[in-house]
């Protein structure tokens, strides 16, 4: 049986950080996704989830447009889930879920940009 670890998200970018690691640029950003529904009383509710995304610039010039992803950019991405374990400042073991993205499509701007990582 084939195993699958795949994530597909479309949302709005929050904070963006980038760094150079081993000659490649690594981007870490948050992505907000919304789910709209009505509760039992019929009141409209919008539930926002924040996701932590990591992606790499391939270094071959194809993905240079990642520098144009800013807070508020609308993007579509695909990737995989990764779980990390770490010790917090208080000494308590903590866990976090990240998405390692291999494809980012910028959905706003003068033209739609597609970046394959």
Q: If you count them, how many residues does the chain have?
A: 117
Top-ranked range on mean pLDDT: pick from 11-20, 58-67, 108-117:
11-20
Q: What percent of the chain has pLDDT over 70?
A: 85
User: Cβ(49)–Cβ(31) under 8 Å?
Assistant: no
pTM of structure: 0.81
Domains of the chain with bracketed CATH: 7-116 (2.40.50.140)
Nearest to 55 by CA among 71, 73, 72, 31: 31
| pLDDT tens per residue, range 56-69 | 876 555 455 677 78
């Amino acid at each position: 049986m084939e195993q699958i670890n795949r994530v597909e998200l479309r949302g709005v970018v929050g904070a963006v950080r980038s760094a150079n690691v081993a000659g490649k640029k690594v981007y870490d950003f948050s992505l907000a996704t919304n789910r709209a529904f009505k509760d039992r009383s019929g009141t409209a509710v919008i539930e926002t989830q924040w996701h932590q995304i990591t992606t790499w610039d391939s270094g071959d010039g194809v993905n240079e447009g990642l520098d144009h992803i800013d807070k508020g950019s609308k993007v579509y991405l695909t990737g995989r889930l990764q779980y990390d374990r770490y010790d917090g400042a208080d000494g308590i073991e903590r866990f976090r879920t990240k998405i390692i993205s291999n494809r980012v499509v910028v959905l706003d701007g003068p033209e739609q940009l597609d970046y394959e990582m």
